[in-house]
Structure 1
Amino acid sequence: MTATPAQPYSPSKPRARRARGRIPLRAARDVLTLTMLPLIAALALPATFAGGGTRRWFGGRAENQRAEAQAAKDAAAAAFYELDSAQRDLRISIETINAVDDSPAARRAIADFEALGRRIDEASHRYIGAVDAHDLDRDDLDASSASRARSELTAAKDELTRVKQELDRFARSLGPLLDKAETQLARLAPAVERARQALLAASTALDTARGGGLKADDLAARLAALSPELTKLNEGAGRHGVPQTLERAGRVTREAEAIRVEAERLPERAAEIDRRLVSLRTRAQALTTRSEQVEPILSELRRRFTVACWQDLQRVPEVAVDNVRQAEAKLAEAQAARNEQRWADATALLSTVRALLNTTDEAVSAAGERLNRLNAVQKDPEQEIERTRFALRDAQRLAMAGRNTPDPRHAGPLDAAVARLEQAIAGLEGRHPDYWRFLTETEAVRATAAEVVARIREERGAGAP
C-alpha cells in the first residue's frame, strides 16, 4: 500500500492595494496625500504584525516537518509493500511444503510461519494506525503534529523492517524442505503418466494373449482391480495429496508392469507346461521300469551281506510303485488344469510330481549304489581305510602348523576320530563283517576331520591364536 504524496503547502501572500486614478491638480494631490497618510499608516501597521512576515516564518518550519513526515510515510509504505510481497511469496512456498510433506519438520515450519503471520499482522496494524492517525495534507498542520507523525511513521517502518528480516531468515531456513517438496512435485506428473502408460501396456498385452486363444482370467481380474486406483490418479493430487498420489502411482505402475510381463509370457508359459508334462510323464514311465529292477538287487544283498546292510532298503520297491502311481495321478490333474488354463494350479501340480519322482529316483538308485559300494569294500577295504586315514592326517598336520602342541579343541575330536576308525577296522574281522556299518563309520570319521579343518581355517582367518 503506497501513500499518495502530500501536495506542497503554499500559504497565500496578502498584497497591498494601491489606488489608481488621475489627479489633475497638484494641490489636490498634496491635500489628498496629507489627508490619507494617517489612514494608510493605521491600516499598514496591523498588517505588518499579522500578515506575510509571521506566516512565512511559521510556514517554513511546518513545511520542513511536513516534508520529513511525508518522507517517513513513503518509507513506511515501501517497507509495508516489501513485507507484504515477501509474505505472499513465502506463503506459496509454505503451501507447497504443506501439500507434499507431513514430516515433523514440515509441521514445525508451518506453525512457525503462522506465528510470523501474527507478528506481521501486528506490525501492519501499527503502520496502518499511524497512517490513519495523521493527515499530512491538511492546511493547518503545525510543526509539532508533523514531527509526531514523522516519529510514529518511522517507528512503524522500523518495525516492518525488523519483521521483514525475520521473514527472510525464516525463508532461508526453509531451503531443504522446499527443495524436497519441489522435487516431489516435479516427480508427480511423470509418475502419474508412467502409471497410465503401464496400465495401457498391460491392457494391450492382455488383449494380445486373448487373441492367441489364452483366457488369462486371473490377469484380467487383477487389471480390473486397478481401475479404482486409476480413477484416484485422474482426480489428482489436490484431492488425495502429493505423497499419497506418488505412492499410488508407483504401486499401480509396478502391478501393471507385472500383469504385462505375465501376459506376454503366457504363450511361453503354456508351451513350458506342455514340455514339462511330456518330460515328467516319460520320467514316470522310466522309473516304473527301474523300480522293477530293485527286487533282484535286494535278493543279491540278502544273499551276500548281513541284514544290517540291506534292511533299510526293504520297502523301496513298494514305495517306488506307490510314488509313481501318485505322480501319474497328479500328472492327470496337471493336464486338466492346463487344458482349463489354470496356469498356477498346473505349475503347482507339476512341482508335486517332480518331487515324487525325485524321491523315487533316489530310493531306486540307493539300492544299486548300496550293492556297488558293498562289493567294492568287500573286495578291497584298504582303499576306504587309506582314504579315511589320509583325511585324518591332513587335519592333524593343519592342527600342528605353527604350534608345538595342538589346541585341545582340535586335538580332542581328531583323537576320537582316530579311535573310531580303528574300531571300524576291527569290525571287519570275523566270518560275517558288517560292511555297511564300516562304510558309515568311515564317512563319519572323514566328516569329523573336515569339520576340524574348517574350524581351524575360520579361527585363523579371524586372527584367533
Structure 2
Amino acid sequence: MRDALALVLLPVPLVAAVLPAAFAGGGTRRWFGGRGESQRADAQAAKDAAAAAFYELDSAQRDLRISIETITAVDSSPAARRAVDDFAELGRRIDEVSHRYIEAVDAHDLDRDDLEASAAARARTQLTQAKDELTRAKQDLDRFAQGLGPLLDKAETQLARLAPAVERARQTLLAASTALDAVRASGLKADDLAARLAALGPELTKLNQGAGRHGVAETLQRADRVARDGDAVRAEAERLPERAAEIDRRLVSLRTRAQALTTRAEQVEPILSELRRRFTTNCWQDLQSVPTQAAENVRQAETKLADARTARDEQRWPDATALLGTVRALLNATDEAVSAAGDRLTRLNAVSKDPEQEIQRTRFAIRDAQRLAMAGRNTADPRHARPLDDSVARLDRAIATLEGRHPDYWHFLTETESVRQTVARVVAQIREERGGGAARGGGAA
C-alpha cells in the first residue's frame, strides 16, 4: 500500500520518465513519437506501395497468360511460337523480381516493438527498390501485351467463329438429312447421296467431341468442310427430282432428233448423185462417206439412248447424264455431216450460176483493206501491203480456174474464202497497231 501511495506522490516528470520504460517492459513499443515513428510510417508506406505494384504485376501476368493460351490454342505460326518464348522469358524475369520483393518483405518486420529507426530506413529503401523493379517489370509486360495485339485479335476472331461454325455444320447436316428423306419419299433412291451423307457421320462425332480434344484450328477446318459437303448433299438432293425430269425430257428429245436425222441422212445419197452428175470430182469426193457414217452414228446414238434409259430406270444419274452427252455428240456430228452435203450443193449451184457475186465480195474486202492500209500514209507498210498484193494475185488465179469446160467451183469457193480470211487478219493487225483508232474503210468480211 505504501508503495502504491509513494508512486502516486512522485513528481510528474518522474512519472513521465518511468511510463515509457514500463510500457516497453510490458510488451509495448520501446520508443514513441518523433523521428523513429516517422521512419516506421515511411517504411510501411513503401511496403504498401510495393504490395500494390506486386498485385498489379501479378494480375497483368495472369491476364497475359490467358491471352498467350488463347493464341497457342489457335495459332501455330512462327510468330505465335516466338510470342510464347518471349512470354516465358518475361516470366523468368518477373519471378526474379517477385522473389526479391518477397525477400525484402520477409527481411523486415515493421510491427516489431523494438524496430530501430535505421532498420526502418533500410526497410523503406529496399521495399522502394523492390517496388521500382516491379513497376518496370509491369511496364515491360504492358509493352509486350501491346505487341501481341494482331496475334490476339486473330486468335479471338477464330475462337469467336468456333461455336457458330460447329452449329452451322450441325444444321447443314440436319438440312441435308431432311432433304434426302423428302427425295426418298418421292420414290427416288439417291443411294450415292445417302452414302456421302453417311461418310460425314464420323466428322460430326469429332465436332461434338470439341476443340479441347482436336484443337481449335482443326475443329474450325472440320466444321467448314462438313458444312460445305453437307450443303452440297442437300443441294443435290433438292435438285434430284428436277434432274430426273430433265433426263426424261432429254431422252425424249434426243430420240426424236435421232429419228429425224435418220430421215435426213437418207436424203444425202440423192444430193451426192446430183453433185457427181453436175460437178467435178473435187467438188464432192470428200462427202462420199457421209451416208455410211451418218447411219453408223445414228445406230450408235440409239444404242447409247437405250443404255441411258436403263441407267435412268436404275437411278444411276451420273451414268445416264454421261450417256446422254455421248448421244448428243454423235447426233451433232451427224447433223453437221448431213448439212454439209446439202450446203455444198446449194453453194455450188449458186456459184455456177453467178460466180461474179463471189468475185465482187472478195474484191471489195481486198480494196477495203487496202484503203485502211493507206489511211494517213503515203506508202503502205510492207507487212500489210505484201499479203494484200498476194491476195489480189490469188483471186486472179482463182478466177482463172473457172475457165474451161469443167470448172472446179469448189476450189474457187474455198480459195476466195481463204483470201477473205487473210485480208481480215491484215485488217485486224492494222487496227491493233493503231490502237483501234483507224475505223475508216469499214470491215473486211
The equivalent residue for 1:244 is: 218
1:304 and 2:291 matched: no
Amino acid at match of 2:413: L
| Residues in 1 aligned to 2:152 and 2:437: alpha-carbon distance in whole angstroms | 51
The equivalent residue for 1:275 is: 249
For 1:131-174, what per-residue CA distance to the aligned partner results, in whole angstroms no more than 9, with x for missing partners? Answer: 11122222222122222111111111000000101111111222
| Residues in 2 aligned to 1:77 and 1:118: alpha-carbon distance in whole angstroms | 19
Deviation at 1:418, TM superposition (A): 1.7
Deviates more, 1:103-112 or 1:83-92: 103-112
| Residues in 2 aligned to 1:235 and 1:64: alpha-carbon distance in whole angstroms | 63
TM-score (norm 1): 0.87
Alignment match of 1:262 (pick from 236, 246, 252)? 236
| Residues in 2 aligned to 1:204 and 1:58: alpha-carbon distance in whole angstroms | 87
CA distance change for structure 1 residues 462 and 131 in 2, over 3 Å: closer, same or farther? farther
The equivalent residue for 1:5 is: none
The equivalent residue for 2:333 is: 359
| Residues in 2 aligned to 1:452 and 1:231: alpha-carbon distance in whole angstroms | 67
Deviation at 1:122, TM superposition (A): 1.1
| Residues in 1 aligned to 2:117 and 2:309: alpha-carbon distance in whole angstroms | 108
The equivalent residue for 2:380 is: 406
Deviates more, 1:303-312 or 1:234-243: 234-243
* 1:417-432 correspondence runs (5 A): 417-432=391-406
CA distance change for structure 1 residues 246 and 57 in 2, over 3 Å: closer, same or farther? closer
1:374 and 2:361 matched: no
Deviation at 1:64, TM superposition (A): 2.3
Residue ranges of structure 1 left out of the alignment (5+ in a row)? 1-15, 23-39
* 1:196-207 correspondence runs (5 A): 196-207=170-181
| Residues in 1 aligned to 2:113 and 2:203: alpha-carbon distance in whole angstroms | 71
For 1:326-380, what per-residue CA distance to the aligned partner results, in whole angstroms no more than 9, with x for missing partners? Answer: 1011011001000100000000000000000000110011111001101111110
Amino acid at match of 1:146: A
| Residues in 2 aligned to 1:211 and 1:273: alpha-carbon distance in whole angstroms | 20
| Residues in 2 aligned to 1:408 and 1:325: alpha-carbon distance in whole angstroms | 55
1:115 and 2:89 matched: yes
Deviation at 1:102, TM superposition (A): 2.4
* 1:40-189 correspondence runs (5 A): 60-189=34-163
The equivalent residue for 2:411 is: 437
- Partner secondary structure for residue 196 of structure 1: helix
1:295 and 2:269 matched: yes
Residues 30, 114 of structure 2: 8 Å contact kept? no
CA distance change for structure 1 residues 456 and 96 in 2, over 3 Å: closer, same or farther? same
Percent identity, aligned pairs only, is 80
| Residues in 2 aligned to 1:454 and 1:201: alpha-carbon distance in whole angstroms | 55
| Residues in 2 aligned to 1:80 and 1:152: alpha-carbon distance in whole angstroms | 14
CA distance change for structure 1 residues 75 and 338 in 2, over 3 Å: closer, same or farther? same
1:344 and 2:325 matched: no
1:392 and 2:379 matched: no
| Residues in 1 aligned to 2:363 and 2:316: alpha-carbon distance in whole angstroms | 57
Alignment match of 1:416 (pick from 387, 390, 398)? 390
- Partner secondary structure for residue 434 of structure 2: helix
| Residues in 1 aligned to 2:167 and 2:432: alpha-carbon distance in whole angstroms | 54
- Select the structure of larger CA radius of gyration: 1
The equivalent residue for 1:27 is: none
| Residues in 2 aligned to 1:392 and 1:188: alpha-carbon distance in whole angstroms | 69
Deviates more, 1:353-362 or 1:115-124: 115-124
1:19 and 2:6 matched: yes
The equivalent residue for 1:331 is: 305
CA distance change for structure 1 residues 85 and 72 in 2, over 3 Å: closer, same or farther? same
Deviation at 1:206, TM superposition (A): 0.4
| Residues in 2 aligned to 1:316 and 1:463: alpha-carbon distance in whole angstroms | 47
For 1:187-206, what per-residue CA distance to the aligned partner results, in whole angstroms no more than 9, with x for missing partners? Answer: 22111111111111110110
Residue ranges of structure 2 left out of the alignment (5+ in a row)? 439-445
| Residues in 2 aligned to 1:326 and 1:364: alpha-carbon distance in whole angstroms | 16
| Residues in 2 aligned to 1:21 and 1:240: alpha-carbon distance in whole angstroms | 86
1:313 and 2:300 matched: no
- Partner secondary structure for residue 461 of structure 1: coil
| Residues in 2 aligned to 1:289 and 1:51: alpha-carbon distance in whole angstroms | 137
Amino acid at match of 1:186: A
Alignment match of 1:253 (pick from 213, 219, 227)? 227
Residues 30, 113 of structure 2: 8 Å contact kept? no
The equivalent residue for 1:36 is: none
Deviation at 1:18, TM superposition (A): 5.2
| Residues in 1 aligned to 2:120 and 2:265: alpha-carbon distance in whole angstroms | 119
- Partner secondary structure for residue 431 of structure 1: coil
| Residues in 2 aligned to 1:21 and 1:358: alpha-carbon distance in whole angstroms | 136
Deviation at 1:246, TM superposition (A): 1.7
| Residues in 1 aligned to 2:245 and 2:414: alpha-carbon distance in whole angstroms | 45
| Residues in 1 aligned to 2:312 and 2:225: alpha-carbon distance in whole angstroms | 30
TM-score (norm 2): 0.91
Q: For this pair of structures, how many residues does the alignment match?
A: 426
The equivalent residue for 1:26 is: none
1:455 and 2:442 matched: no
Amino acid at match of 1:257: D
